[in-house]
A and B are shown apart, each in its own frame.
Chain A
Amino acid sequence: MKTKYIFSLVLLFVSFAFQVSVDPIFHKPSNFPKPVYDFSKNQLSSDKILLGRTLFYDPILSRNNMISCSSCHSQFSSFTHIDHALSHGIEDKIGFRNSPALINLAWQSSFMRDGAINHLDMQALAPISNPVEMDENIGDLVSKLQKSRPYVNLFYKAYGDSLITGEHLLKSLSQFMLTLISAESKYDSVMRKQVIFTNQEKRGYSLFQKNCSSCHTEPLFTNNEIMNNGLCLDSSLNDFGRFRVTSNPLDSFKFKVPTLRNIEFTYPYMHDGRFKSLNLVLKHYTNGITHSANLAKELQNPIDLSSNDKVDLIAFLLTLTDRKFLFNPEYFYPKEIFSEIVKDRE
């Protein structure tokens, strides 16, 4: 009888623990919803995260061992390519879209500007294989890694298997990317009632809620949808957005709604980086919308903002900057491991 009682108590605790967190290491910010990523298929571990972080910074991912993920996704700009409308990849070849910031990826349901990638695990395959980004092939990459003693050790430590597979490689990259959580901005502190907005920020916040939040939904500042936000076609790029993925004309000019977190540092803006400043972005929404059949319904009616409104709105947007994220040492280039890796390659 007594053992039965203890057993059910243990069971209760275990089920409680599972309810509280989706993953023992993954920390969900209190003002965030449940993540989209299924952690049961790729439980976080510090060894796997470190392996993913090492891979993220290693140019071995590219055909000529020159371009790493971090080449176009640097931490200080919230893991995007600051000042680059379009990024340059292998041999300085220019890509055709602006590199997106990597923030709160555990809550994203699709990846890339056109949502072509359906799962975080599979995202890395795109830049690795793209002929103007890394131009490598996942099979060849696995063989390169298998020849590196430090990597064989890292994979063995992470998975208990020294045979490197594509699955483990991709899951490790996911592990690191899942830790890129930004939830320590001033906005978050205000929501947790730790500080308050200035009057200007407060005015900006209500303008934001009225005009922007139906697509840039709080607290992630995206609704994860793929929509036409009324940008005119740049004829030098001829980028038709999601149409490329579905071949459905109704998907023309549709792009993923990006998060606005850390927007202070993710310029230039839009899928092709056409706007250098937030002012220009706001000008687009008030005066520059191109009307077409599938324009987002949220943009059908004109958005009216005075120049003072715009200043206030931008003041609010700057409260989305998360300096702790931008300088978090857990995301840094793992120097010690690379000294080993480099030594091994010599």
Chain B
Amino acid sequence: MQKSSLLFQALFLVVASFTTAQSKLVQINIKSVYADYVIVLKDTGFSLNDSDHLSIDLIKFYLSGFQFFKNGKPVFKEENSYHLVLPAESNPFIINILNKNSQDFDEVQFNLGIDSITNVSGALGGDLDPTRGMYWTWSSGYINIKLEGRSDLCSSKTKDFQFHLGGYQSPFSTLKKVKLKVENSSIINIQLDIKNLLDQIELKKLDHIMSPSEEAVRISNIVANSFSISRH
């Protein structure tokens, strides 16, 4: 068993080295930040010593359907492109995508969330496996984004906020397209600014979303607009 899997790995490496002769890897770094601070979630979570006593315990989100453009024309796309971004594992979170013909591009496009066809395709594996904690159980559908933490601004007793954003059916479809201009075809540094997001949510009035709704659509839009290319 183990021997054969080793053999497969060796074979894979040989094949991979042949293919990479003409193709390049695009490394995409997804950095979750709060304004100028990198959000470090390991063990204790991220907290900020500001007046609101903000802390963030959990960020998880799906990016899917990576596609690359040059002068507005599609150059290549990643097949089977589904990535669960886990800043708690590493921040920046690294996604490597094979650029088969090493073509240059000046724009990257991806979806924030999981498309509707995948949402109705039954049990799937890898990053889409329901054991990853990003699938609703009482009503079918992927949770595209999870953001949980605490802030004195919340009106709940525990001061917790909990946003589970998802929904693939009209009128509450939460899938959002993100397009960003890039200068470099081998490393792309993307950042997601949680401050931009929290600044636009009135936590006093809204501190949790747990199902598809108008608010889930609105907040998903804000998250999508909180991605940008970082210079460093």
Contact = CB atoms under 8 A, between A and B. Distances in A.
A165 B140 CA distance: 19
Nearest to A114: B139
A116 B122 contact: no
Interface string B127-162: 001111101011111000000000000000000000
B123 interface: yes
A245 B139 contact: yes
A132 to B, nearest CB: 12
Interface string B59-101: 0000000000000000000000000000000000000000000
A315 interface: no
Q: Is the interface of A mostly helix, strand, loop or mixed?
A: helix
Interface in A133-185: 138-139, 142, 165-168, 170-171, 174
A55 interface: no
Contacts of B139: 116-117, 244-245
Interface in B139-198: 139-141, 169
A130 B138 contact: yes
A167 B138 contact: no
B140 A122 contact: yes
B3 to A, nearest CB: 15
Contacts of B47: none
Given A142-B131, A166-B131, A167-B129, A119 B120 contact: yes
B213 interface: yes
Interface string A246-264: 1100000000000000000
Contacts of B133: 139
Given A122-B122, A166-B123, A174-B122, A138 B138 contact: no
Contact of A122 (B130, B131, B212): B130
Nearest to A139: B131
Contacts, number: 70
Nearest to B214: A247
A126 B129 CA distance: 15
Contact of B130 (A42, A138, A246): A138
Nearest to A111: B140
A119 B138 contact: no
B131 A121 contact: no
B140 A117 contact: yes
Contacts of A125: 130, 135, 137
Interface string A20-45: 00000000000000000010011000
Contacts of A71: none
Interface in A245-288: 245-247
A128 interface: yes
A128 B137 contact: yes
A89 B71 CA distance: 59
A118 B137 contact: no
Contacts of A244: 139
B29 interface: no
A116 B138 contact: yes
A120 interface: yes
8 contacts: A41-B121, A116-B138, A119-B140, A130-B138, A165-B129, A166-B125, A167-B123, A167-B125
3 smallest beta-carbon distances between A and B, as pairs: A121-B122, A166-B131, A129-B137
